[in-house]
Amino acid sequence: MSSSGEDRTRKWYDTSIKVAKDYGGKISVMPKVPVKGLRDFSIYYTPGVAGVSLEIAKNPDLSFELTWRWNAIAVLTDGTRVLGLGNVGPEAALPVMEGKALIFKYLGGVDAVPLPIRVKSKEEFVAVAKAIEPSFGGINLEDIESPKCFYLLDTLRKELNIPVWHDDQQGTAGAILAGLYNALKVVDKNINDIKVVLFGAGASNVAAARILHAAGVSYGNMILIDSKGPLHAEREDMDKLMLNNPWKYDLALKTNKERSRTIEDAMKNADVLISASTPGPNVIKKDWIRAMNKDAIVFALANPIPEIWPWEAKEAGARVVATGRSDFPNQINNSLIIPSVFRGALDVRARGISDEVIVAVAREIAKYAEERGITEDYIIPTMEEWEVYPRAAAAAAVEIVNEGLARVNTTYNEELERARNIISKSRASMEKLMKEGLIRELPAELIR
């Protein structure tokens, strides 16, 4: 990292620490119902609340109508892979989960509870998730090491009757697909014909391979690269992968029809490079991009420093470049995906979220950007374009209904209006609290 980059990063670290100390965290619980006197608690608590409990006892699904469950999710982590920090533990994960809960509320109108847990095994993690299921309408898995995260997602999706989602997998994969849809339009290429190299074989790219396939990319036209090189069926470590990481093993069998053995061979005539690997720069070499097809698309998604600087990728021949950073064009950000997916899922009381839901949401997000006018430097909306969230929520809800995963039905227009109303109210309430001084604005000297 350059000296100026280090200074800027240190400034954000220091500012975040000061804000956390001054505010005592980022979220709190606010009541929905009016309280004018103690008599009101005869309704909200005993004896009146027994009537609500008795109704739910007869039909547990009424908990989605008579409690906060209809709009509540848990942001669940064991703190084993927090941002780029690694295994820092559940306590150190809490401020990150608070931040994610804030994003859920502001961008999706979703009540999200940060819930870092101290568990030693994946089986313990599953047991905790099962135990808290009655309190929530969904679970967002967050910042969990690989390959444990794959096991947890697969297991909990099968065994819970509420949607379980891992944003480092599905959220990032959905954002990648949304950006790729429009990048391909810019360079006039068809998703069914492209060769894609996925540099890095962790949570994001393993999920991206699956989602890209669901969107029309042939597994044979994908090549995944890990620290030992391209995955392929004849690699010496296949037996080990089969035992320790069956998800990578499965992709090694399905992908890389060319049987490329080196990174250089893999990059030849590739149309798309999606890198979710080690922070850079200089992780992706310019010579590799020069070997790609004309009008190459490069997503360099590592934070805080992309694997190759965007201008260097363009110097090497890339036409469309995206990163994970907000200060460069085309930020591929899973926060575009997760609030709206859960908004739509909660509104139809979903039992699950399939890969096809992610594809539908990615397509809607891409359509929103296309309507605004896509260019090489604008292939995906930013988080500030809040109107995209109700549209994506509506796309998610309709697909969930169509797949028979919903407890209640809806149409696109019905959910669009509902989601727009909920999200706009959430944003307006926060702005009103700030205006009235009930939420203090950040001191100007901290955000210069």
Residue 262 has pLDDT above 70, yes or no: yes
Tell me what pLDDT residue 1 has.
45
The reply to whether 286 belongs to the active site is: no
Beta bridge partners of 76: 115, 141
Q: What is the pLDDT of residue 440?
A: 83
> Of 19-23, 127-131, 313-317, which gets the smallest average pLDDT?
19-23
Mean pLDDT of 85-91: 92
| Cα(393)–Cα(339) distance, integer angstroms | 8
Q: What is the 8-class DSSP label of residue 170?
A: I
At 6 the pLDDT is: 61
User: How many Cα atoms sit within 13 Å of 359 on the Cβ side?
Assistant: 14
Average confidence (pLDDT) over 284-288: 97
Confidence tier at 310 by pLDDT (50, 70, 90): very high
SS (H, E, C) 44-113: HCCCCHHHHHHHHHHCHHHHHHHCHHHHEEEEEECCCCECCCECCCHHHHHHHHHHHHHHHHHHHCCEEE
Name the DSSP letter for residue 2.
Answer: -
* Percent of the chain at pLDDT exceeding 70: 97
- Which residues have CB under 8 Å from 167's CB, separation 6+? 100, 140, 141, 142, 334, 337, 338
Alpha-carbon gap, residue 279 to 299, rounded angstroms: 13
Report how far residue 345's alpha carbon sits from residue 76's, in angstroms, rounded to the nearest whole number: 17
Q: How far apart are CA 59 and CA 19, in angstroms?
A: 44
User: Considering the chain, what percentage of its residues have pLDDT values greater than 90?
Assistant: 85
Q: Which of 100, 195, 248, 254 is catalytic?
A: 100
Q: What is the average pLDDT across 280-306? A: 95
Least confident among 10-19, 160-169, 293-302 = 10-19
Q: What is the mean pLDDT of residues 159-182?
A: 96
Q: What is the pLDDT of residues 207-232, one digit of tens each?
A: 999 999 999 999 999 999 999 999 99
Query: What CA–CA distance (Å, rounded) separates 126 from 285?
Result: 41
Residue 45 annotated to the active site? yes
* Active-site pick, 13, 44, 45, 435: 45
**How far are the Cα atoms of 3, 93, 295, 303 from residue 85, in angstroms, in the given order?**
20, 10, 35, 11
Angle 172-187/355-372 helices, nearest 10 degrees?
A: 40
Model confidence at 36: pLDDT above 70: yes
